[in-house]
Structures are given as C-alpha cells and as structure tokens.
C-alpha cells in the first residue's frame, strides 16, 4: 500500500508531552499494557518514535512477566 506525502508527514511529527504521559500511563496498568503496547508495536500507522518505544517496552514487560511466572512456579 502506498502512502501519500501527507500521511508520512503526519506520522512522523513530534510527539507532545501529553501524548507521552498518556502513553506511559497506559503502560503501567497491568494487562492493558500488553494490549496497548502490542497495538502500538505492530501498527505501521503509528509514529515511529512511539512504535520503537513500545517495542522496547513490550519486550521488557514480557521478560518481567516471564520472570514473575518462573518465580512463582519455582
């Protein structure tokens, strides 16, 4: 699918502080963080800055959940 110049310019704009605060707040809520980080990680229409941050946070959260599960099993 080909994007026009307006879509690319809209997608790459600077992320505001309010957007980052909401984004990080959603990442702190258990279970919702998996869905929101997964959505932002794999959606190509999201700003690349948010997408890369959410990919890193998604990996971090998955590792933490795995460690928690392993800790309670052992």
Tokens 């505001």, located at residue: 16
Rg (CA), the chain: 15
Please, what is the angle between helix 48-73 and helix 32-42, to 10°?
140
Task: Using the predicted structure, report yes or no on whether residue 8 has a pLDDT greater than 60.
Answer: no
Q: Where are the domains of the chain?
A: 29-74
pLDDT in tens, 14-46: 889 999 999 889 888 888 888 999 999 999 898
Task: Using the predicted structure, report yes or no on whether residue 1 has a pLDDT greater than 70.
Answer: no
Q: State the pLDDT at residue 13.
A: 83
Measured CA to CA, the distance from residue 53 to residue 32 in angstroms comes to 16
Q: How far apart are the first and last CA of the chain?
A: 48
Average pLDDT score over residue span 39-64: 92
Task: Using the predicted structure, report yes or no on whether residue 49 has a pLDDT greater than 80.
Answer: yes
């Amino acid at each position: 699918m080909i994007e026009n110049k307006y879509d690319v310019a809209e997608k790459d704009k600077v992320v505001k502080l309010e957007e980052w605060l909401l984004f990080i707040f959603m990442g702190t809520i258990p279970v919702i963080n998996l869905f929101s980080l997964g959505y932002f990680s794999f959606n190509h229409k999201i700003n690349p800055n948010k997408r890369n941050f959410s990919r890193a946070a998604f990996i971090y959260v998955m590792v933490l959940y795995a460690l928690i599960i392993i800790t309670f099993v052992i």
